[in-house]
Amino acid sequence: MEDARMTTQDALWLTMDRPNNLMVIDGVMWFLTVPDWDVTTEVVRERLVERYPVLRCHPVQVDGRWEWQEDLDLDLDRHVKRVQLSGKGGPDELRKFVSARRIEPINRDHPLWVIYFIENVVNADGSVGAAVLSRFHHSIADGIRLTQVFMGLCDLEAEAAPTTVGQHLHKPTSASAVATSAVREVAGSVIDIAGTTAHTGVHAAGSVADVARAAVHGDVGGTVSAASAVVSTSTNLFSRGVAVFKHPERLVDVSQWTSTTHNRLVNDLNAVGTLALTLPSVKTVWSGTPSVAKDVGWVPMLPLSQVKEIGHATGTTVNDVLLSTVAGALDRYLNAHGDSSVAELVWLVPVSIKPISLEIDPNLGNHFAMVALRMPMGIADVRERLAQMHSNMDRIKNSDEALLTFGIQRGISAAPDRIAAGVTNYFANKAVGVLTNVPGPRVPMRLAGTEVEGVLGWAPCSGDEPMTICILSYNEKVTVGFAADEKLVPDAGSLAGLLEDEFAAMYQQVVVDGQS
């Protein structure tokens, strides 16, 4: 590969590394039997190193700009390592091994990835299996594409493969398309809050489009100015006849009174307001500055059929059910640690702004935006919690939030490194962390001929985020993984058990008791 200038988005993640929060995306597969490691190494060579040029390159700064330069000293043995778990080699030992790797930086003198072949992984029945842990720096690509790359090591029937991994937008990504969409929605919507005029609504649409237009073109000053106009307009939109609230983010709550699944303008304003106006993440037992030490844990796989049963009984989606289960588990954790008054948590959810297909672009790169998911908390009634989650997800689906935040991200990434990192952390601190939900293959995958029992992966945390959560469905089962700061979220492994308890309680209340 010829040396290539790194995109501003990729360079942003390269400069975001901190000792207590590394910008590395981790993925783990586990097996009931041991793969042939020599064959697996050749699979890594053919399907990773030879297919994706960036995996043969390392970052170098030239005249103040970052470039990908080919590593002339590329040695596969440096990147593919074979290790054995110590002790009994059970689930706890595997969890501790993965946790310990989350704090290890990747050597920038060579390509920014490493894969571990892990032996002595003892199964529940006493037989010996294995695991594979992959670690890719975020500057190589976003988590959606790296999930595809990781799963691309495996074989499965083509007709059984999902058409995409993760979510993608069905709308064009140009600034003019955002503007056209917003204006069209204004024309078809009636927004009448205490005498607000249609003129205010049209002005708001123009401001939203200005944010995207300025940021997409890398105009940092224009982005800030346009974003200020959005905040100013949304304030004007809801201030007439509405009392002044103590907290500015309450303006967002007012917009929800009129938000519907078809009212894209109000949903857009709500989306921008969530990021621009919301105060930093609610103070809980896990608030504070992250330490270096990390902890991970995951739930033994939940039957997807039971998840669907709950959704069918409540008129909600699989995604709604899984997110509501996570909310219930976090409620249990907070209550056990003395926090019983948390009404809502904000999570950042990555969404691809570029259509994803089974044919992965060999250039990889970061093509995603973050949307804010407002997770309802403290709702004991399962059906009520599911209904609220469903409403919150519909509001996200029927807005241009991902397009708007992507434009803002581009504007941020064009700023000097220190400013870009500071602004990114500012937005990151408005959330607990990153939450991903990936639909994987519906049938078993095989790595070098050995069937994959389970798979999971975690995005990194930014700023002072204490936790990241991954939900991944595979082979008609769902695994939920928690990766957290060891100091701020003590005994993160217990979250797995709490989630199992919550899911069992939800299934009992909605399905079993509902049929009696």
Residue among 153, 69, 80, 140 at smallest CA distance from 114: 80
pLDDT given for residue 330 in this prediction: 95
pLDDT given for residue 462 in this prediction: 82
State pLDDT tens for residues 458-487.
999 888 889 999 999 999 999 999 999 999
68, 222, 367, 435 from 412: Cα distances, Å: 21, 11, 15, 22
pLDDT given for residue 397 in this prediction: 62
State pLDDT tens for residues 335-394.
998 887 788 898 888 877 776 666 788 889 888 777 888 899 999 899 999 999 998 887
CATH architecture, domain 4-160: 2-Layer Sandwich (3.30)
- The domain ranges of the chain are 4-160, 175-277, 294-399+425-515
H or E element that contains 116:
strand 113-122
Q: Give CA 237 to chain center in angstroms.
A: 31
Report residues of the chain scoring pLDDT below 70: 1-3, 157-282, 355-358, 396-430, 516
Considering the four listed CATH numbers 3.90.600.10, 3.90.230.10, 3.30.559.30, 3.40.50.300, the one that applies to the domain covering 294-399+425-515 is 3.30.559.30
* Predicted model pTM: 0.74
Q: How many angstroms separate the CA atoms of 355 and 371, rounded? A: 17
- Parallel, antiparallel, or unpaired for β 433-439 and 467-474? parallel
pLDDT given for residue 422 in this prediction: 52
Query: Would you state the structure tokens that stand for residue 61, as one six-digit string?
Result: 């700064």
SS3 letters across 41-90: HHHHHHHHHCCCHHHHEEEEEECCEEEEEECCCCCHHHHEEEEECCCCCC
User: 227 and 408 in contact (C-beta within 8 Å)?
Assistant: yes
State pLDDT tens for residues 259-312.
344 444 444 344 444 444 444 556 778 888 899 999 999 987 899 999 999 999
Check if 4-160 and 294-399+425-515 are the same fold.
yes
pLDDT given for residue 357 in this prediction: 65
Q: How many angstroms separate the CA atoms of 212 and 272, rounded? A: 11
Measured over the CA atoms of residue 326, residue 329, residue 335 and residue 338, the dihedral's sign is: negative
Q: How many angstroms separate the CA atoms of 322 and 140, rounded? A: 29
pLDDT given for residue 405 in this prediction: 47
Query: Would you state the structure tokens that stand for residue 178, as one six-digit string?
Result: 């955002």
Q: Within 13 Å of residue 114, how many CA atoms lie on the same side as its CB?
A: 17
pLDDT given for residue 1 in this prediction: 55
